[in-house]
Amino acid sequence: MTFRSWLRVSFVAFVACGGGKKGDLQVMSYAPSGPIDKAELVEIRFDKPVVDDAMVGKPADPTAVTISPSVAWKGFWQDRQTLMVEPTEALAASTRYQVALGGTLAKRTAGFKFSFVHRPLAVEGVWGVDAMSLAPDGEVPLSFNQPVRAADAAVHCKLVGASGDIALTTPFGTTDEGANIALKPATKLAPGAAYTISCAGLAGAGGNAVLERPYALAVRARPPLSVTKMMPASHDVPADEVTLTFGFSTPVALDVARKALTSKPAIPGLDQGYLSGDGTEYRVTADLDTETEYKIKIKGLVDTFGQKLPGEITHEFRTGDARPRLSMERGIFALEAGAKGYPLWSRNIGTFELECAAIPRDKIVQVVTTEMNYDPWGGNDDDKPLDWKALKLTPKKQVTKTNGKNKWLLSELELGKTCASSPGMRGMFLAEVSTDDIKPDPNRSWWNPRRNRVLANVTDMGVLIKTGTSSGLVWVTSLSTGNPIAGAKVAVYSPQGKQVWVDVTNAEGLIKIPGSALLKQQKSVDDENAEHEDWDSYRSQRLIAIVEK
């Protein structure tokens, strides 16, 4: 290696070494003073001029400096009190070099000298294996930042365990040398036991500088393949949305885990689960039968190291009743006028309460533009009771009792009759179904809410509204016949509740409307300074249309 870098690192001279009495000349700084990974210029700066002006820039006296181990060098005076030295030979790795002043300079500085290490040795860990899963009868492959003699590594490295130290040997001979060295423990490791790889006093091949500090790395011997966890484990497991979990001591492949699992009675989708990132846990979620004994069997499992699971493992659990559930479409929903009612499914619910109100025509926009979120992809904000007072609506309530255990029951809610005392009534209804039988899951409150809220539009008219930046249209058709509806009055509102357009559909059930840029008066998406939320709202082109016939 040749010197390409002129990086200078300075330290006060009193940390260097000297000998004899203090002279009349002091070293104020020198470089390098510690480990270096690439060649650097040697710089020694004195507290006063040492040479006259004629020597500045001229070669230094060959006896001014000695470097050991010996290496050829050339030097010059950068100024009257700064000596620069550049070795002309490549420096060896893992080697400590001592720089000492010679001749008159040595006498005047009381034998000043200092040292630095070129490319100090570093242990980079194990290579090609998982440190937490070493083969009990295998090798310990160590990786270094430079070549190391295998014999030296075996002498200066070892395994430390609870039962004492384990020496490392050289399975490929003592002459082996390289940055990656495979050593073998003198005795077989205990499966599953924890160890520490320890290295101290080791130098790189041909070097004289050992590790600056002892190296230690926690490792573990690979345990035999076993099943460490099988869940659920109780005799009263809720039957729906059951997550079955199987843990393994060592990684397995997904297809192998799927094939190894069977159950009686059969669990649909048992072979469609997934593995954790480290391959040691298999999970699958399934709906099970109620009040049923299940027996899980794991047989023929092999891990990624080729270890086989001895025999077969069985696990039993029993399901109890299904969780109380309410299930219905939430958010904004259109219900055909010819339907018997709004469908609500319940299971293991003793009673549920329907609280609802018909929405007058002049309050529809207000209800739709409140803080309640009716986005179909986001559900709705039903974690708190409806604030009917704020909406200026008077709701009606109806309590319904159900019967039947562990079976889904369908209730068809006649909204016109219940919410407005007007059977068969069409229009908008805000309804909330709740029950105290459901106990919220603190980890998945969204999965089985106690309240189910819907803004239902009971109608025979299907409305499609599409807008672009410059134009748009509204198309009205009959849900029962599919035919266009002519003569329907269409009022278009902005998301803020402002009426921005009114028209009547033609024979094809269509009206044309201006683009959203005009109707909503929003910034262009090309405006790079626009807020992200504005841009997203603009892109979705949300407008409200009230259609009457």
What pLDDT sits at residue 20?
43
Q: What's the whole-number average pLDDT of the chain? A: 88
- Average the pLDDT over 107-121 and give the result: 96
Compute the average pLDDT of residues 127-146.
95
Least confident piece of the model among 9-23, 54-68, 363-377, 476-490: 9-23
Over residues 218-254, the pLDDT tens digits come to: 999 999 999 999 999 988 998 988 999 999 999 999 9
Mean pLDDT, residues 88-97: 95
Do 520 and 467 meet the contact criterion of CB atoms below 8 Å apart? Answer: no
For residue 285, the one-letter residue type is: T
Peptide bond into 32 cis (omega under 30): yes
pLDDT higher at 107 or 524 = 107
Domain closes at, from 88, 118, 148? 118
Same domain (yes/no): 439, 524: no
Res 403: pLDDT: 85
Domain membership of residue 367 (yes or no) is yes
* pLDDT value of residue 127: 93
Residue 307: the pLDDT is 96
Residue 435 has pLDDT above 70, yes or no: yes
Q: Do 107 and 37 share a domain, yes or no?
A: yes
456 or 535, higher pLDDT: 456
Residue 78 token pair: 């950068």
Specify the pLDDT at position 452. 86
Say whether both 361 and 432 belong to one domain.
yes
- The model's confidence at residue 526, banded by pLDDT at 50, 70 and 90, is very low
User: How much is the pTM?
Assistant: 0.62
SS3 of 296-326: the string is EEEECCEECCCCECCCEEEEEEEECCCCCEE
How high is the pLDDT of residue 21?
A: 52
Residue 5 lies in a domain: no
CB count within 10 Å of CB 249 equals 20
| Claim to verify: residue 127 and residue 160 sit in the same structural domain | yes
| 450 and 367 fall within a common domain | yes
pLDDT tens, position by position, 369-423: 776 655 544 444 556 778 899 889 999 999 999 987 888 999 999 999 999 999 9
499-503: long-range contacts, CB 8 A cutoff, minimum separation 24: 500/543, 503/474
Last residue of a domain, one of 118, 142, 175: 118
CATH of the domain at 189: 2.60.40
Say how many Å lie between the first and final Cα of the chain, rounded: 91
In this structure, which amino acid lies at residue 175?
Answer: T
Tokens encoding 233: 């484990």
Three-state DSSP class for 117? Answer: strand
Largest CA distance in the chain: 117
**Model confidence band, residue 519 (pLDDT cutoffs 50, 70, 90):** confident
Same domain, 197 and 265: no
Q: Is 4 inside any structural domain?
A: no
Same domain, 71 and 142: no
Is 6 part of any domain?
Answer: no
Examine the pLDDT at 182 and tell me if it is beyond 90. yes
What pLDDT, on the 0 to 100 scale, is given for residue 384? Answer: 72
Order of all β-strands in the sheet with 396-401: 331-336, 451-459, 427-434, 351-359, 396-401
- Please tell me whether residues 36 and 129 are part of one structural domain: no
Q: What is the CATH number of the domain that holds 303?
A: 2.60.40.1220
443 pLDDT higher than 70: no
Given pLDDT bands bounded at 50, 70 and 90, which one contains residue 445? low
Q: What is the CATH number of the domain that holds 49?
A: 2.60.40.3710
Residues 280 and 237 in one domain: yes
438 & 355 share domain? yes
Q: What pLDDT sits at residue 533?
A: 45
Q: Residue 306: which pLDDT band, with cuts at 50, 70 and 90?
A: very high
Residues 288 and 409 placed together within one structural domain of the fold: no
Domain-located, residue 305: yes
Q: Is the pLDDT of residue 278 over 60?
A: yes
pLDDT band, very low/low/confident/very high, at 537 (cuts 50, 70, 90): very low
Q: How does pLDDT run across 453-462, given as a tens digit for each residue?
A: 899 999 999 9
State the residue range of the domain holding 467. Answer: 461-548
Selected residue with higher pLDDT from 234 and 81: 81
Does residue 1 fall inside a structural domain?
A: no
**pLDDT value at residue 26:** 96
The stretch 140-165 carries a mean pLDDT of: 96
Answer yes or no: is 3 within a domain. no
Residue 94 belongs to a domain: yes
| Domains contained in the chain, number | 5
- pLDDT tens-digit map of 310-347: 999 999 999 999 889 888 998 889 999 999 999 999 99
Is pLDDT larger for residue 29 or for residue 391?
Answer: 29
Q: Identify the domain boundary among 204, 220, 236.
A: 220
- Please tell me the distance from the alpha carbon of residue 549 to that of residue 547, in angstroms, as a whole number: 7
Least confident residue range of 148-152, 260-264, 522-526: 522-526
Residues 302 and 368 reside in one and the same domain:
no
Rounded to whole angstroms, the Cα distance separating 282 from 285 reads 11
Query: Residue 539: pLDDT band by 50, 70, 90 thresholds?
Result: very low
The confidence score (pLDDT) of residue 13 equals 34
pLDDT at 7: 33
